[in-house]
Amino acid sequence: MPKAGSARPEQMLSVGQIAARSGLAVSALHFYERSGLIRSERSAGNQRRYRRGVLRRIAIIKVAQRLGIPLATIRQALDTLPADRAPTVADWGRLSASWKADLDARITQLTRLRDQLDGCIGCGCLSVDACALRNPGDVLAGRGTGARLLEALPDD
């Protein structure tokens, strides 16, 4: 008899079934599980079994990864969802809205970097002190040349 809150055994999928349906390697599923992105339950024979809703979680993980969202951020987002059901359209709307601002900021940053590449053609990265791409926001440059951070270390 299944534990309270767990799915019936016939509703559960093996790691191989999840791998086949998601297109991921079994090792990737194990990694996702160790990382806290997905969860399994153990069968009477101590084999991993997954609820069908894990397939939708995996789809969300893969889309978020394509957007460049770090796994830690994906895990935090998935932690806000109930573990006992598949993510809904409303859940996806909330998660994707939270990632949209980050994506927009990265697009702006990358556009700015792309537009600054023209200036690199002239300097060839020989002007490290003036290169906004190689040395962005160099706050120590005003203190002179050399290794400024090393000055703060005590003498040995």
Beta strands 41-42 and 12-14 are unpaired
Using alpha carbons only, give the angle 88, 11, 73 rounded to the nearest 5 degrees. Answer: 40
Residue 8 to residues 11, 20, 53, 54, 156, Cα–Cα distance (Å): 5, 21, 13, 15, 66
Q: How far apart are CA 86 and CA 83, in angstroms?
A: 8
Q: Is the pTM of this model over 0.85?
A: no
Per-residue model confidence as pLDDT tens for the chain (156 residues): 344 455 565 689 999 999 999 999 999 999 999 999 999 998 888 889 999 999 999 999 999 999 999 999 999 999 999 888 889 999 999 999 989 988 999 999 889 888 877 666 555 555 555 566 666 666 666 666 666 565 555 555
